[in-house]
């Protein structure tokens, strides 16, 4: 059944559809009819526009939402720096360490002493939020709910939240979202929210997109369905607080620094809204996997859930890719991902279970790995040995597992926290994974070598219909069964 069986029941209603124009009202007739900004909106509400793209962005890219709220978001004090020295701590400022080494991290610790805002740690990234270019990759670990008098937003980019442990009960301006393990949530730039932890400590990963917004990948020859289907994405319905006047704190992540402002009214006072710019969630268990039914392992791009493309077609600032439970049936095929060097950077995490391309426990849930641009990687030695000798009958891999990847065309640097402070980097990752690989190359007796030298007798070698042709025109039969195969 293409849906995750959650131990925590759903508690909220949603609207379904990715990229759909939604509208919702928590009070009947709170949405104005036929106008976005009437002189007097219904019930004495204020009309406010939330713009996720430039006003003049092409219609198919334009993302705006009209909010009808009790008081405008602008009604707050000036923002001032707050605890910036302890937020995404990096002693070397914004410096990122650009290194070619393959990196892998042990599971990141849970931290029961902090809330959502202070549990965010920048591990890696590329680009600059001030230029709206690039991405940031975070680990979050928190043990306390945010204060009921607080709200948080990031001006730097969209948060794609991948929960690994615990439950997130997120109150946003546009309504409530419950996020459980194997669900993801996207909160767009600027949307204010607070995070409650109804089942204790939480942990997971975040890809913050500094430029553009996530969208569904094109399906091309696949057709009109499969991968992540638009109908399975869920957006909140309007819900608002009628809290008495008291002081609230608005926390802003602005160029990687934390600022705070105060106001005397709840930030969660949106009675109705309509538009295309809103938070949403998705159950990874509903992903419809595509794969080969004959031979060869396809590129991992067939597992893309969401993408944030660059201006160059087929290239992404960030792809969100998953490796869910799936059937493998390829004949005469090495079934795990092959060894490769990629022009894209690959940051991987594990939500649960065991990733089928790694064995031995080195890649664990709540851990991570980074294979940067052109850093060679692939199955470890034991996985290669096992897969090369496996009986090639239909097999389901990844049962009870969910691995994912943030992939980017950018060279991803690692922060001081990610490289040293967290103390989770596995120093022997390369040596354990690929140094044990053994050479199995062997030329059987009687198989001719081909020369690359001009004038050599074998200067025009070739194979034609199972016969080896040498430079003198002589031929001999080749017995394919005598050629070396891996054993």
Q: What is the predicted pLDDT for the residue at 297?
A: 85
Kindly state whether residue 2 falls inside one of the protein's structural domains: no
Examine the pLDDT at 133 and tell me if it is beyond 90. Answer: yes
Q: Are residues 419 and 460 in the same domain?
A: no
Full residue range of the structural domain in which residue 312 is found: 287-433
Q: Are residues 384 and 461 in the same domain?
A: no
**181-231 confidence digits (pLDDT tens):** 999 999 999 999 999 999 999 999 999 999 999 999 999 999 999 999 999
Average pLDDT over residues 34-53: 97
Q: What is the predicted pLDDT for the residue at 479?
A: 57
Q: Are residues 485 and 383 in the same domain?
A: no
Q: Are residues 138 and 67 in the same domain?
A: yes
Kindly state whether residue 202 falls inside one of the protein's structural domains: yes
Is 377 annotated to bind ligand?
yes
pLDDT band at 3; cut points 50, 70, 90: confident
Residue 470 or 189, more confident: 189
Whole-prediction pTM = 0.92
Kindly state whether residue 98 falls inside one of the protein's structural domains: no
Kindly state whether residue 412 falls inside one of the protein's structural domains: yes
**54-86 confidence digits (pLDDT tens):** 999 999 999 999 999 999 999 999 999 987 544
Is 485 annotated to bind ligand?
no
Examine the pLDDT at 272 and tell me if it is beyond 50. Answer: yes
Q: Are residues 209 and 263 in the same domain?
A: yes
Q: Which of 284, 299, 317 is the last residue of a domain?
A: 284
Kindly state whether residue 367 falls inside one of the protein's structural domains: yes
Asked whether the beta carbons of 185 and 14 are under 8 A apart, the reply is no
Kindly state whether residue 340 falls inside one of the protein's structural domains: yes
Kindly state whether residue 103 falls inside one of the protein's structural domains: no
Q: Which of 6-10, 29-33, 161-165, 482-486 has the lowest mean pLDDT?
A: 482-486
CB burial readout 349-378, b (16+ within 10 A) else e: bbbeebbbbbbeebbbbbbbbbbbbebebb
**224-240 confidence digits (pLDDT tens):** 999 999 999 999 999 99
CATH number, domain of 60, equals 2.60.120.10
Domain count of the chain? 3
Q: Are residues 464 and 358 in the same domain?
A: no
For residues 250 and 150, what is the distance between their CA atoms, to the nearest angstrom?
6
Number of other residues whose CB lies within 10 A of the CB of residue 207:
30
Is 118 annotated to bind ligand?
no
Q: Are residues 364 and 424 in the same domain?
A: yes
Examine the pLDDT at 476 and tell me if it is beyond 60. Answer: no
C-alpha dihedral (343, 347, 352, 354), degrees to nearest 10: 50
Residue 3 or 329, more confident: 329
**340-355 confidence digits (pLDDT tens):** 999 999 999 999 998 8
Examine the pLDDT at 465 and tell me if it is beyond 50. Answer: no
Is 355 annotated to bind ligand?
yes
Examine the pLDDT at 459 and tell me if it is beyond 70. Answer: no
Look at residues 303, 267, 299, 307 and name the one whose alpha carbon lies nearest to residue 72: 267
Q: Are residues 279 and 343 in the same domain?
A: no
Q: Are residues 80 and 174 in the same domain?
A: yes
Q: Can you say how many angstroms the Cα of residue 217 is from the centroid of all Cα atoms in its chain?
A: 13
Examine the pLDDT at 90 and tell me if it is beyond 50. Answer: no
Q: What is the predicted pLDDT for the residue at 196?
A: 98
Kindly state whether residue 7 falls inside one of the protein's structural domains: no
For residues 158 and 136, what is the distance between their CA atoms, to the nearest angstrom?
10
Q: What is the predicted pLDDT for the residue at 431?
A: 87
- Can 165 be counted among the known catalytic residues? no
CA angle 108, 109, 111 (to 5 degrees): 135
Contact residues for 40 (Cβ-Cβ < 8 A; gap 6+): none
Q: What is the predicted pLDDT for the residue at 471?
A: 43
Q: Which two tokens stand for residue 18?
A: 């990715």
Q: What is the predicted pLDDT for the residue at 481?
A: 56
Q: What is the predicted pLDDT for the residue at 59?
A: 95
Q: Which of 39-48, 195-204, 311-320, 352-361 has the lowest mean pLDDT?
A: 352-361
Q: Are residues 412 and 279 in the same domain?
A: no
Q: Which of 259, 284, 309 is the last residue of a domain?
A: 284
Examine the pLDDT at 160 and tell me if it is beyond 80. Answer: yes
How confident is the prediction for the chain on average, in pLDDT?
A: 91
Asked whether the beta carbons of 321 and 407 are under 8 A apart, the reply is yes
Q: Which of 254, 269, 284 is the last residue of a domain?
A: 284
Residue % of the chain over a pLDDT of 90: 80
Q: What is the predicted pLDDT for the residue at 52?
A: 97
- Select which of 297, 312, 384, 485 is catalytic: 297
Q: Are residues 237 and 299 in the same domain?
A: no
**426-447 confidence digits (pLDDT tens):** 999 988 888 999 999 999 999 9
Q: Are residues 66 and 196 in the same domain?
A: yes
């Amino acid at each position: 059944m293409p849906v995750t069986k959650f131990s925590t029941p759903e508690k909220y209603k949603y609207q379904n559809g990715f990229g759909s124009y939604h509208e919702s009202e928590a009070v009947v007739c709170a949405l104005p009819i036929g106008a976005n900004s009437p002189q007097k909106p219904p019930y004495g509400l204020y009309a406010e526009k939330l713009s996720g793209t430039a006003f003049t962005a092409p219609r198919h890219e334009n993302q705006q939402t009209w909010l009808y709220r009790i008081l405008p978001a602008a009604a707050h004090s000036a923002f001032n720096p707050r605890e910036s020295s302890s937020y995404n701590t990096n002693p070397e400022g914004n410096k990122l360490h650009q290194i070619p080494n393959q990196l892998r991290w042990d599971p990141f610790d849970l931290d029961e002493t902090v809330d959502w805002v202070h549990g965010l740690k920048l591990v890696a990234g590329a680009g600059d939020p001030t230029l709206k270019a690039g991405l940031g990759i975070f680990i979050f670990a928190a043990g306390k709910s945010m204060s009921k008098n607080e709200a948080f937003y990031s001006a730097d980019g969209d948060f794609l939240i991948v929960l690994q442990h615990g439950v997130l009960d997120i109150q946003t301006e546009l309504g409530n979202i419950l996020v459980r393990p194997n669900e993801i949530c996207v909160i767009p730039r600027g949307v204010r929210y607070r995070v409650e932890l109804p089942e204790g400590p939480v942990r997971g990963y975040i890809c913050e997109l500094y430029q553009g917004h996530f969208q569904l990948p094109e399906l091309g020859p696949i057709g009109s369905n499969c991968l992540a289907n638009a109908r399975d994405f869920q957006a909140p319905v309007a819900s608002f607080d009628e809290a008495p006047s008291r002081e609230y704190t608005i926390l802003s992540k602005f160029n990687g620094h934390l600022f705070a402002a105060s106001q005397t009214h709840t930030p969660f006072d949106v009675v109705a809204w309509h538009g295309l710019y809103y938070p949403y969630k998705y159950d990874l268990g509903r992903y419809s996997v595509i794969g080969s039914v004959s031979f060869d392992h396809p590129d991992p791009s067939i597992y893309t859930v969401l993408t944030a493309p660059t201006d160059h077609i087929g290239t992404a600032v960030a792809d969100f890719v998953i490796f869910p439970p799936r059937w493998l049936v390829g004949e005469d095929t090495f079934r795990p991902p092959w060894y490769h060097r990629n022009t894209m950077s690959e940051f991987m995490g594990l939500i649960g279970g065991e990733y089928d391309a790694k064995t031995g426990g080195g890649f664990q849930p709540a851990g991570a790995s980074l294979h940067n641009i052109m850093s060679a990687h692939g199955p470890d030695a034991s996985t290669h040995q096992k897969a090369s000798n496996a009986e090639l009958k239909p097999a389901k891999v990844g049962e009870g597992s969910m691995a994912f990847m943030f992939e980017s065309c950018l060279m991803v640097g690692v922060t001081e926290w990610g490289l040293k402070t967290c103390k989770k980097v596995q120093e022997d990752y390369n040596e354990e994974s690929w140094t044990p690989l053994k050479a199995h190359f062997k030329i059987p007796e009687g198989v001719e070598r081909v020369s690359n030298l001009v004038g050599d007798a074998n200067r025009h070698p070739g194979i034609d219909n199972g016969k080896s042709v040498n430079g003198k025109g002589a031929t001999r039969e080749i017995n394919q069964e005598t050629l070396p195969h891996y054993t």
